[in-house]
Structure 1
Amino acid sequence: MSESLDGKVAVITGAASGIGLATTERLLARGATVVMADRNEAALAELAAKLGERAIPQVTDLLDGDSCAAMVPEVLAKVDHIDILYCNAGTYIGGDLTETTPEAIDRMLNLNVNAVMKNVHAVVPHMSARKTGDIVVTCSIAGHFPTWWEPVYAASKWAMTCFVQTMRRQMIPHGVRVMQVSPGPVVSALLADWPEENLRKAKESGSLIEPEEVADAVEYMLTRKRTVTIRDMLVLPTNFDRV
């Protein structure tokens, strides 16, 4: 049976666009309060005004160490507790390893891996003390298959699969569920570096999914009764045939 999200407080990173925004809208529709964490202050202000008083802006740059460390304390100054942390913010590097730069590699690993671990590290004491909570991470099908055409991105998502599945076990005694959702290619800013022709062909062939499809999966995971954990949900375009 579906559990209610009425009165729940969620924090979503990367909430100003794509999967983060779609999930924000979905959880608001289910009665939750959503703290929208993103570095884009102007977008957050506009969205909060549009979405209503249960959408609370939180300006955080996860690539800035001080800003990242301050996120959970700043959130808890705005709301009295956190029921859900959805670590969704991320970036993408495609192509061969030799086609990227050390600086781009650092940026990807800092955002896709380090920031997630730091956010979870910050919220775990709060959730453990309350003996309840849900942590969800946006992973990828690239975290389950050796996607040779994007080794840096795949490595970051394999790291997240390991992190989520080890933390899931650690948090069982504390009443905290730790889960991940693993989408295939999603129409979002992460595909901004795709060649326009490739993107067009992928859309026409049905090889991309919309952010709302991922939001559906996250909603399902969060609304299971507390005795059920959806440890990972793979969401693929039906016509995606690369894995």
Structure 2
Amino acid sequence: MGQDLSGKVIAITGAASGIGLACAKACLSSGARVVLVDYAEDRLNNLSLELGANAIPLVVNLTDPKSVAGMMPAILDKAGQLDAFHANAGAYIGGDFTDGDPDAFDRMLNLNVNAVFRTVHAVLPHMIERGTGDIIVTSSVAGHTAVPWEPIYTASKHAVQAFVHALRRQVAKHGIRVGAIAPGPVLTPLVEDWPKENLDRAIAAGTLFDPKEVAEVLVFMLTRSRTVTIRDVVILPANFDI
């Protein structure tokens, strides 16, 4: 099977940088129209000029319920339909739990967990009405194992994994597929918040990979036959093991 997304509309959160931007570029290259959802307005506007008419910028603050409430109407206004939604935006906190800031924990959980719930809730009625659609969530290898240097991040991704598996079973009857991509360490702005010794060690050992590897997985998942659901894909750098 090929990887043609012509005629499809895909919305990606956190699309102004990192994994989200790589995924947007890959989907555009496969023929889709892509709604780039992010709060970085200037960056989005520049990207839409760079990437062409099929890259549709949409400014949304994913931690603001009012802003999220306007997301789906804006997608339909700009693109007319929505075939796939990639809940990708996220934040990272690592390090010793006792040294952490509980307010920062709350902010990360709001983006990594609550914003996923809220945005997916916003797009599902349209997909249910059409009887088709794809929901893909960016999870993490930390959603499959307890990583000791990032307990709060690990907790957020375990929540995402549980949500993906339960929701998939609820909405399969509507022709909607739900899956997760769980990368290991990816070279994105998120890893800048790693403990320095961990980041230096990972770079030296070659245990980080490029976001385009995740983007290729997304396109693969979206272009499978509708008789197939890719539930989980765990993707790791070759020299990384946990």
Range into which the TM-score falls when normalised by the shorter chain: over 0.9
Contact 2:86 2:136 in 1 (8 A): yes
TM-score by length of 1: 0.97
Aligned partner of 1:148 in structure 2 is 148
In 1, the alpha carbon distance for the partners of 2:204 and 2:192 equals 17
Q: Secondary structure at the match of 1:118?
A: helix
- What is the root-mean-square deviation of aligned Cα atoms in Å? 1.1
Q: Secondary structure at the match of 1:192?
A: helix
In 2, the alpha carbon distance for the partners of 1:124 and 1:98 equals 38
| Superimposed CA distance per residue, residues 176-209 of structure 1 (whole angstroms, 9 cap, x where no aligned partner) | 0001000000000111123555434312311001
Write out aligned runs for 1:29-68 (5 A).
Answer: 29-68=29-68
Contact 1:3 1:225 in 2 (8 A): no
| Superimposed CA distance per residue, residues 65-85 of structure 1 (whole angstroms, 9 cap, x where no aligned partner) | 211221112111111110010
Contact 1:207 1:238 in 2 (8 A): yes
- Among all aligned residue pairs of Structure 1 and Structure 2, give the percentage whose two residues are the same amino acid: 54
Contact 1:2 1:225 in 2 (8 A): no
Contact 2:95 2:194 in 1 (8 A): no
Q: Which runs of 5+ in 1 are unaligned?
A: none
Query: One-letter code of the match for 2:157?
Result: K
Aligned partner of 1:184 in structure 2 is 184
Q: Secondary structure at the match of 1:179?
A: strand
Residues 75-84 or 193-202, more deviating: 193-202
Write out aligned runs for 1:1-243 (5 A).
Answer: 1-2=1-2, 4-196=4-196, 198-241=198-241, 243=242
| Superimposed CA distance per residue, residues 42-90 of structure 1 (whole angstroms, 9 cap, x where no aligned partner) | 0000000000000000001111221122111211111111001000000
In 2, the alpha carbon distance for the partners of 1:212 and 1:199 equals 20
TM-score by length of 2: 0.97
Contact 1:182 1:235 in 2 (8 A): yes
In 1, the alpha carbon distance for the partners of 2:175 and 2:3 equals 16
Contact 2:94 2:195 in 1 (8 A): no
Check 1:212–1:114 CA distance in 2 against 1; reply closer, same or farther (3 A cut): same
